Amino acid sequence: MTKRVGMEIAFAAAEAVALCKPDVVAAYPITPNTHIPEHLSDIVADGRIDAEFICVESEHSALSACCGASATGARAFTATSSQGLLFMGEVMPIVSAMRLPVVMAIGNRALSGPINIWNDHSDIMSQRDMGWISIFASNGQEVVDMVIQAFKIAEHREVLLPLNVNLDGFQLTHVVEPILFPDQEEVDRFLPEYEPYATLHPDKVLSMGTLGMPEIFNEAMKAKDVALINSKRVIMEVWEEWEKLFGRKYEPIQGYKTEGADVLLLTMGSMDETAEVAIDELRERKVSAGLLRLKLWRPFPIEELRNAVKSIKVLAVMDRAVSCGGAAGPVCAEIKAALYGEPNPPAIVNYVIGLGGRDVTVDDFITIAEKAAQAEKEKPKEAYEIYGVRGS
């Protein structure tokens, strides 16, 4: 029976991982995701799951160990944030190229410079091209659901790609929320035992991680790219199944009060929920505004985005990371690329908000929506605006 529990979301993420019966967990602590490996190690120490918890000496080793474990056929999990993600960065494209279904939870935190332990999306945005499936959670329930879905998606024979679940550091990781937990039997029925495609074992000898000459490298990358693009079909199937089993619906882009909207805000992560409150307020004032919550970041849902903005006038894209010196924030650049060439695209304004954990309030979103509405008539002066920065 599903249980409703009030729990800190990081702990809940660990409980969700435990429900999936991982075989190997190799993680290195880094604020703000530390509670995930800590709680998992408690669960292992109490014998609630039978897993090898490797206290690795760095994040690079964490992902490397997960790689090695996954290659033997074990279900592997790790978690990290920010600098830790960069440190394992060398291994990121290798895990996807080797088609190892490692699942990672990222407590999104600002990349250093200056060092800052609070929430923004710069860490995951630096890993866009690494070939991982990337999903964003807006609240504790989504974190738990997505972690359990993650293993099923990643290990699917037509996918076999690593997957990261993104939850905002502190804004989600350290917040206590009521969460509905499926029970072990329900998860066991949903998530079968991992059946690897090939493993490291003397009974069937193979070599993994061979050298790719220029003569085959293009083909290797094409194969990986196609696998990632095609994984969307499996993701949709898994989400459909989840809705049937648990009644909670997931889509690559979820609309909130979008009917008849002229202006749509687009957000990712926990700021979705703050934006929803702002939209409620705006609708009260008879402003025709709505919200798009982007849940699936990679593979990017091009079709769903195009459909979502078909009849609107302005799209205000929130980026929680700056692409320094770029033509747009990371998410906005992706959206503009997806909409280029579409007939009657909306005007697009780009706001970079909430860097380094700066609070984004309901009022901020209301202001942004009002400013965005002007963009239909008056093109913004800059490519993107870092919202709320002091000084002109």
Partner 1 sequence: MANKKWPETWQEFNLGGMVFSPGNASEYHTGSWRDQRPVLDTSKCIKCGLCYIFCPEGCISQDADGYFVSDLDYCKGCGICAHECWPGAITMVEEG
Partner 2 sequence: MSSIVENFDLYAPRLVDKEEYFSPGHRACQGCGEALGIRLMCKALGKDTVIINATGCMEVISSLYPTTAWRLPWIHVAFPNSASVGSGVEAGLKVLRRKGRIPDRDVKAVSIGGDGGTVDIGIQALSGAMERRHDMLYVCYDNEAYMNTGIQRSGATPFGASTTTEPAGSASYGKKAWKKNVPEIMVAHNLPYVAIACPSYPLDFMNKVKKARKIKGPSYIHCLSVCPTGWRLPPNLTIKAGRLAVETGVFPLYEVEDGKYRITIKMPEKLRPIEDYLKIQGRFRHLGADEIKMIQDRVNQEYKKLMSKVEYLPSWSDLQGE
Name the residues that contact partner 2, by CB under 8 A: 23-24, 26, 50-52, 54-58, 60-62, 64-74, 76, 90-91, 94, 98, 193, 199-203, 205-213, 216, 220
Torsion sign, CA atoms 53, 59, 61, 67: positive
State in angstroms the smallest separation of the CB of 96 from partner 2: 12
- Comparison of 66 and 294: residue with beta carbon closer to partner 2: 66
Torsion, Cα of 188, 191, 192, 194 (10° steps): -130
Q: CB of residue 74 vs partner 1: minimum separation in angstroms? A: 16
- Choosing among partner 2, partner 1, none, which partner's interface includes residue 323 (Cβ < 5 to 8 Å by kind)? none
CB environment 249-269: b (16+ within 10 A), e (fewer): ebbbbbebbbeebbbbbbbbb
Q: Give the residues lining the site for partner 1 (CB under 8 A).
A: 97-100, 160, 197-198, 205-210, 212, 215-216, 218-220, 222-223, 226
Backbone Cα Rg of the chain: 21
Q: How far is the CB of 56 from partner 2 (least distance, A)?
A: 6
Helix (H), strand (E) at residue 226: helix 214-246
Nearer to partner 2, 24 or 360 (CB): 24
Of partner 2, partner 1, none, which one sits near residue 202, judging by CB under 5 to 8 A according to partner kind?
A: partner 2
Q: How far apart are the first and last CA of the chain?
A: 56
Token reading at 217: 């490298």
From the list partner 1, partner 2, none, pick the one residue 218 interacts with, judged by a Cβ distance below 5 to 8 Å according to partner type: partner 1
Name the residue nearer to partner 1 (CB basis): 199 or 361: 199
Angle between helices 271-284 and 362-374 (to 10 degrees): 60
140 or 299, CB closer to partner 1? 299
In terms of CB distance, is 207 or 392 closer to partner 1?
207
Q: Could you tell me the two tokens for 137?
A: 């959670």
Contact criterion met (CB below 8 Å) for 277 and 257: no
Residue 389 binds which of partner 1, partner 2, none (CB < 5-8 A, kind-dependent): none
Hey, CA dihedral for 195, 199, 201, 206, is it positive or negative?
positive
In the complex, minimum distance from the CB of residue 364 to partner 1, in angstroms, rounded to a whole number: 45
Residue 163 near which of partner 2, partner 1, none (CB within 5-8 Å, type-dependent):
none
Cβ atoms of 49 and 215 closer than 8 Å:
no
Q: Residue 189 binds what, of partner 1, partner 2, none (CB under 5 to 8 Å, by partner type)?
A: none
When the beta carbons of 75 and 99 are compared against partner 1, the nearer one is: 99
CB of 207 to partner 1, least distance (A): 4
Bridge partners of 319?
352
- As given in the structure block, the two tokens for residue 335 are 């959206």
